Amino acid sequence: MPTPNSGLRAHQAQMTRARILKAATRVFSQDGFSGGRIEKISRLAKSNDRMIYYYFKNKEQLFISVLEGIYAGFNEAESRQRFELDDPVGALRQLIEFVWHYYIQHPEFISILNTENLHKASHSRKSPALKALSGEALGNLAPIIHAGQAQGVFRADVDIHHTYLLISSLCYFYHSNQHPLGAFLGIDLASPQAREGWLAYACDQVLRGLRNLPAGLS
């Protein structure tokens, strides 16, 4: 039978695990997977190495949990959005703007994905949870596309995966490369004006690709 003490211990364990994940997210986003040290994560989490290995077994499993956590955090934030399907164009703009601003507000998301890209998604492929998480992400886009198709606003041959990739690439590439590209082009890509200009351009490009134009105007 559960006791008050067992409930307290479970809560403390949950809090310890959450602190470790938060610290690991910060360390891996700064130092990458190879450079991220368990000792550094322990200090930041105000825990110890033994507790990390108790909850996550090894460094790779900890990194996989961080990956799952950042995707789950993104999906949770997106699920709080309310898209007006009677206005699919406005809803799609809202979705693109959400993705764009989420990347700005969560630079660790970009950093950790960059790290996983360097490792050719070797950790992601070991996570059974990421498939479900990706389904949630597509599940927010699909109703908008279907509503636009039903109204004749969007083309009938739209590929949901292509649209998702287009939105992700237009938002992700800018943020993941803004510093070297800004130096190369001599432009401050982190300035509010540059960001607002690119966001408007990204929305325009996605909508141009989806719109159901009259015959002869395609």
Confidence of residue 8 (pLDDT cuts 50, 70, 90): low
Q: 63-210 in CATH: which number?
A: 1.10.357.10
Let me know: does 192 contact 77? Beta carbons within 8 Å: no
Q: Please tell me which residue, 103 or 6, carries the higher pLDDT value.
A: 103
| Residue 60, both tokens | 């790779």
Cα separation, 142 vs 148, in Å, equals 10
Sign of the torsion angle spanned by Cα atoms 3, 22, 56, 128: positive
Domain locations along the chain: 1-56, 63-210
Confidence of residue 117 (pLDDT cuts 50, 70, 90): very high
What is the residue-averaged pLDDT of the chain? 91
Proportion of the chain above pLDDT 70, given as a percent: 94
pLDDT at 196: 97
- Residues pairing with 215 in the sheet: none
Cα separation, 75 vs 152, in Å, equals 28
Give the SS3 label for residue 211.
Answer: strand
Give the SS3 label for residue 154.
Answer: strand
CA angle at residue 20 from 16 to 25, to 5 degrees?
150
Torsion region of 57: left, alpha or beta (phi above 0 gives left; psi -120 to 50 gives alpha)? left
Looking at residues 69-86, what average pLDDT do you find? Answer: 93
Looking at residues 111-119, what average pLDDT do you find? Answer: 93
CA angle at residue 202 from 149 to 77, to 5 degrees?
75
First to last CA, the chain: 69
pLDDT in tens, 17-53: 999 999 999 999 999 999 999 999 999 999 899 999 9
Q: What is the CATH architecture assignment of 1-56?
A: Orthogonal Bundle (1.10)
Instruction: Using the predicted structure, report yes or no on whether residue 2 has a pLDDT greater than 60.
Output: no
Could you tell me which residues come within 8 angstroms of residue 185 by beta carbon, excluding any fewer than 6 positions away?
none
Among residues 31, 28, 30, the alpha carbon closest in space to that of 61 is found at: 28
Instruction: Using the predicted structure, report yes or no on whether residue 218 has a pLDDT greater than 60.
Output: no
Confidence of residue 130 (pLDDT cuts 50, 70, 90): confident
Instruction: Using the predicted structure, report yes or no on whether residue 213 has a pLDDT greater than 50.
Output: yes
**Would you tell me how many other CB atoms lie within 10 Å of the CB of residue 97?**
16
